[in-house]
Amino acid sequence: MAIRALPQELIRAKRDGQALAPEEIGELVTGVSDGSLSDAQVGALAMAIYLNGMNAAETVALTEAVRDSGEVLVWRGLGQGLDLPGPVLDKHSTGGVGDLVSLVLGPWIAACGGYVPMVSGRGLGHTGGTLDKLEAIPGYDIAPTRERFRRLVREAGVAIVGQTAELAPADRRLYAIRDVTATVESLPLIVSSILGKKLACGLDALVMDVKTGSGAFMPTHEASFELASTIAEVASRAGTPTTALLTDMSQPLAPCAGNAVEVREAIALLTGEKTGDKSGDESGDKSGGRLLEVTRTLAAELLLAGRLARDHEGALALLDERLASGAAAERFARMVAGLGGPADLLERHDRHLPGAAVVRPVYAERSGRVTRMDTRALGLAVVTLGGGRRAPSDGIDHSVGLSGIAALGEAVDGERPLAWVHAGSEADAERAASQLRAAIEVNDVAPGDVVLPTLIQDVIRREAP
Ligand code: URA
């Protein structure tokens, strides 16, 4: 196909529903990152893609162009003892509430021989962000120099940091323009945005956790499934074997949501405090529950893709051994200390992590069982408490949030509250309590009458071609 050189001709072609050639997409993305396309042209292009979509080949080309618009990390062929001796692995989630998988999975994979250069984001809308959680740890530097980041990935096996200006710069501009031109909700734009950033980290394999349910970015099973399968397909065609899991977000994944409270939960899982033989959280929960199951399943997929285990059972056995031995916790501690956090965070988290001024239980108006949750509303309650942002420039209060959140099907009464609120003031706690009561439905039903959603609903594996 002849290349149509003028950007307005390319935008016109997309506007009229034609497919663009990979070279044409490359030209446009170069224009996005070098500024030769105006904001008006980028907005028009985004709208043309939003309205007419892209076929698979176009989406792959867009993803590769976004990935290659800046630095692409290389971990081998460096010489001087700098090469990583194991597979480079990573995970991404479409975001949820009480989703602290990254905090546990990164160190856990590192303890199994993988290397995890994880570039994470901040909270978006009702969802929490890994960077915000890590910033609850005093001193933790989410923006280390490139050398420090590389050294830590080599030495600790894991470093979770923020996006740099050099990584996928085309996405930074495109995303900002999509945000104000009503073009965020487009499958090819979402997929290329997520994958462009992730694949720029030089991965050997990726696992995607695509959420579905009331707290998900795409709440319906159909939309989430389409996103999961498109991501797996496009990433593998772009050269990175990818497995996408579709997991339930019709209730918070962990029994807590917030920043410091989620770091505490991660430490409890990593140190074994939540395997059943020591005290749990305020509710007495010691199980690790759904969070542990999803994290373990995602991690097993990564170990398989990185050839660190021969089969699924072998992957699970390795993971269980490295958790029980304390090796995963030790990697977490090394990452935190290596990025400027306290060296004794695991032993003294109560001293280092901020606690809220007011911590109090919220009881349901009637006894019964939890039959439904508006998970998105629970996430928004955390934002309202100050644990998330109203505007991008806002600061956040890392100490606030929810803990001991009752699960779907669980009985609540005058002794077992819906959750504990961690707030900056009594007035904030009262407001959050009302939001909680409105978001969690309680009915007088028998235990078997509550239909519990399947936690892991689909697993879509795609090898690189
Ligand atoms: N997250 C991203 O990074 N990009 C999108 O387009 C949507 C979610």
CA 52, chain centre distance (Å):
28
In degrees, rounded to 5, the angle at the alpha carbon of residue 184 between the alpha carbons of residues 176 and 244 is 115
Choose among 96, 125, 122: nearest CA to 295: 96
Residues 6+ apart with CB under 8 A from 222: none
Task: For the chain, 465 residues long, give each residue's pLDDT as a single digit of tens.
Answer: 455 679 999 999 999 999 999 999 999 999 999 999 999 999 999 999 999 999 999 999 999 999 999 999 999 888 777 789 999 999 999 999 999 999 999 999 999 999 999 999 888 888 889 999 999 999 999 999 999 999 999 999 999 999 999 999 999 999 999 988 999 889 999 999 999 999 999 999 999 999 999 999 887 899 999 999 999 999 999 999 999 999 999 999 999 999 999 999 999 999 998 775 445 666 666 667 999 999 999 999 999 999 999 999 999 999 999 999 999 999 999 999 999 999 999 999 999 999 999 999 999 999 999 999 999 999 999 999 999 988 778 899 999 999 999 999 999 999 999 999 999 999 999 999 999 999 999 999 998 899 899 999 999 998 878
Q: Which of 190, 199, 224 maximizes ligand 1 atoms within 8 Å of its Cβ, making it the mutation to test the pocket?
A: 190
Architecture of domain 89-349+456-462: 3-Layer(aba) Sandwich (3.40)
DSSP state of 386: I
Residues with catalytic function: 90-93, 130, 178, 193, 197-198
CATH number for 354-449 (one of 3.90.1170.30, 1.10.1040.10, 3.40.190.10, 3.40.50.620): it is: 3.90.1170.30
Residues 6+ apart with CB under 8 A from 295: 101, 104, 105, 108, 269
Residues of the chain with CATH 3.40.1030.10: 89-349+456-462
Q: What one-letter code names the amino acid at 242?
A: T
Residues of the chain with CATH 1.20.970.10: 7-53
Cα of 175 vs centre of ligand 1, distance in Å, is 8
Cα of 193 vs centre of ligand 1, distance in Å, is 5
Choose among 389, 388, 385: nearest CA to 356: 385
Residues of the chain with CATH 3.90.1170.30: 354-449
CB count within 10 Å of CB 425 equals 14
Ligand 1 atom closest to the Cα of residue 178 is 6
Enter the tokens of residue 65: 């162009």
Cβ of residue 193 lying under 6 Å from some atom of ligand 1: yes
Cα of 50 vs centre of ligand 1, distance in Å, is 14
Cα of 79 vs centre of ligand 1, distance in Å, is 35
CB count within 10 Å of CB 185 equals 12
Classified as helix, coil or strand, 422 is: strand
Distance between CA 96 and CA 248 in Å, rounded?
10
What is the DSSP track for 161-225?
A: EEPPTTSSHHHHHHHHHHHTTT----HHHHHHHHHHHHHTT--SEEEEEEEESTTSSS-SHHHHH
pLDDT the model gives residue 3:
58
Distance between CA 119 and CA 91 in Å, rounded?
10
Choose among 112, 104, 27: nearest CA to 321: 112
Nearest Cα residue to atom 1 of ligand 1: 194
CA dihedral sign of residues 335, 339, 343, 346: negative
Please tell me the CATH code under which domain 7-53 is placed.
Answer: 1.20.970.10
